[in-house]
Amino acid sequence: WLATLEEHGAPVNCVRWAPDGGLIASADADAALAVWAPGLGELHAALRSASKLGAEAWHRRWMLRGHRAEICDLSWHPGDCPRLALASCSHDGRIYLWDLRTGQATVQLCAPGGGLVKGVAFDPL
């Protein structure tokens, strides 16, 4: 196995590394979105490699709540400061843009007719 994410109480649907490699975002079937950071703090995730070099400790930095159904996809902003913006989409028909300085959703978009949203991405240009 590559990782154990103990904070999730439901199957994890999506995991995305931040472009700078400094954070990991994970989302699950119970609408929980966690952002992980390496370093000090209580161990909540261990990333192991196939080599015998050991494991890397990660702790949960944020648990972002807002979606009301399974989160399907995540996307980090590709700009100069990716830690400031993370997008998520869900079967609840919503896309959220999260500000990781505050842990709050700053933008909420709704699918027309309340349809499912299964993917989200930033235009790199």
Domain with residue 41: its CATH number is 2.130.10.10
How is residue 55 written in tokens? 């494991």
Check: CB of residue 33 under 8 Å from CB of residue 48: no
Q: Is residue 121 part of a domain?
A: no
Q: Is residue 125 part of a domain?
A: no
CA atoms within 13 A on the CB side of 88: 35
Which pLDDT belongs to residue 44?
A: 46
Which pLDDT belongs to residue 97?
A: 95
Q: How many domains are contained in the chain? A: 1
pLDDT digits (tens, 9 = 90+) for 91-122: 999 999 999 888 999 999 998 887 889 999 99
Q: Is residue 123 part of a domain?
A: no
pLDDT digits (tens, 9 = 90+) for 21-74: 888 999 999 999 999 988 755 544 444 444 444 556 778 888 999 999 999 999
* Interacting residues of 119 by C-beta distance below 8 A, sequence separation 6+: 72, 73, 89
Owning domain of residue 54: 3-114
